Amino acid sequence: MKVATWNVNSLRVRLPQLLGWLAAHSPDAICLQETKCEDATFPAAELAAAGYCSVHNGQRTYNGVAILSRRQGSGVCRGIPRFADEQSRVIAADFDGVRIASVYVPNGQSVGSEKYAYKLRWFEALEAWLASELASHPRLAVLGDFNVAPEDRDVHDPAAWEGNVLFSLPERAALARLMGLGFADGFRLFDQPEKSFTWWDYRMGAFRRNMGLRIDHALLSPELAGRLVACGVDKAHRGREKASDHAPVWVEVSDS
DNA sequence: ATGGTAGAAACTCTA
> What pLDDT, on the 0 to 100 scale, is given for residue A36?
98
Tell me the pLDDT tens digit for each residue of A5-63.
999 999 999 999 999 999 999 999 999 999 999 999 999 999 999 999 999 999 999 99
Tell me the pLDDT of chain A averaged across its residues.
98
Gap from A187 CA to B2 C1', in Å? 33
Q: Is the pLDDT of residue A256 over 90?
A: no
Tell me the pLDDT tens digit for each residue of A226-241.
999 999 999 999 999 9
**Rounded mean pLDDT, A89-107:** 98
> What pLDDT, on the 0 to 100 scale, is given for residue A68?
98
> Distances from the Cα of A125 to the Cαs of A75, A76, A119, in angstroms?
20, 18, 10
The H or E element that residue A238 is part of is: none
Report the catalytic residues of A.
104, 145
Strand B contact at CB of residue A160, distance < 7 A: no
Q: Which residues contact A47 (CB under 8 A, 6 or more apart)?
A: A19, A53, A54, A68
Q: Record the pTM.
A: 0.98
Give exposure, A18-54, as e/b (b: 16+ Cβ within 10 Å): bbebbeeeebbbbbbbbbbbebeebbbeebeeeebbb
Q: Is the pLDDT of residue A159 over 90?
A: yes
Tell me the pLDDT tens digit for each residue of A105-157.
999 999 999 999 999 999 999 999 999 999 999 999 999 999 999 999 999 99
> What pLDDT, on the 0 to 100 scale, is given for residue A173?
98
**Rounded mean pLDDT, A85-107:** 98
Gap from A24 CA to B10 C1', in Å? 37
Strand B contact at CB of residue A109, distance < 7 A: yes
Strand B contact at CB of residue A208, distance < 7 A: no
Residue whose CA lies closest to nucleotide B4 C1' = A203
